[in-house]
Amino acid sequence: MTNDTTSTPHDEDSTTDFGFNRVNRGDKAGMVRGVFDSVAGRYDLMNDLMSGGIHRIWKRFTIELSAVRPGQTVLDIAGGTGDLAAKFSRLVGPEGQVILADINAAMLAVGRDRLIDKGATGNVQVVQADAQQLPFEDNSIDCITIAFGLRNVTDKDHGDALYAARFTARR
Ligand SMILES: C[S@@+](CC[C@H](N)C(=O)[O-])C[C@H]1O[C@@H](n2cnc3c(N)ncnc32)[C@H](O)[C@@H]1O
């Protein structure tokens, strides 16, 4: 028996942000997937146009802040078309490893092609994964990044993505 008689599709707990709207939690992942499926081939151009190129500066700043060193393992969650992964690949070198993880196969396909074009292949692994259920061992990663991705994650309000990442990072 349940006494949850007040529950409606637009309850605080049953909805989440999607752009400027509130949508049912269960619908969000599919809606996010639809957006990135449809833009994957144009994502990089759109990113440059819509941000006025600022995303490149933020990414450079992120790389500098990370202080990643040769030989380390880096996980880029919601890594999309692989901007950060390509940069980290150069930093960690042949002894290190970069994991480009994203839930969307279309974005990863574009990312894989770009990494090949940039010659960043030997030390980069491409993994289709949900930020909320990371398939990596605890304490296995030196540095974890997520760029412009957290807002797309359904349960970010509850911190699930960050929680999952916390255990994956080396302590
Ligand atoms: C705005 S793009 C950012 C891509 C890249 N990090 C960048 O800065 O260019 C957001 C990315 O988050 C991914 N994404 C959305 N929900 C996700 C989830 N639950 N787990 C992993 N990736 C997710 C999308 O597929 C998309 O590639």
d(CA 170, CA 24): 35
Ligand 1 centre to CA of 111 (Å) is 12
Q: What is the mean pLDDT of the chain?
A: 87
Pocket of ligand 1 (CB under 6 A): 32, 36, 47, 77-80, 83, 102-104, 107, 130-132, 147-149, 152-153
Dihedral (Cα; 70, 103, 136, 139), 10-degree rounding = 60
Ligand 1 centre to CA of 22 (Å) is 19
Ligand 1 atom closest to Cα of residue 83: 9
Tokens of 4: 């949850």
pLDDT at 3: 38
Instruction: Please indicate whether residue 119 or residue 166 has the higher confidence score (pLDDT).
Output: 119
Ligand 1 centre to CA of 170 (Å) is 23
pLDDT tens, 13-37?
Answer: 688 888 888 988 888 888 888 899 9
pLDDT at 163: 67
d(CA 101, CA 48): 21
User: Could you tell me the CATH number of the domain that includes residue 144?
Assistant: 3.40.50.150
- Residue with the smallest CA separation from ligand 1 atom 8 is 147
Instruction: Please indicate whether residue 168 or residue 124 has the higher confidence score (pLDDT).
Output: 124
pLDDT average, residue stretch 68-85 = 97
**Is 6 domain-assigned?**
no
Residue range of the domain that includes 51: 15-168
Domain count, the chain: 1
Q: Is residue 124 within a helix (H) or strand (E), and if so which, with residue range? A: strand 124-128
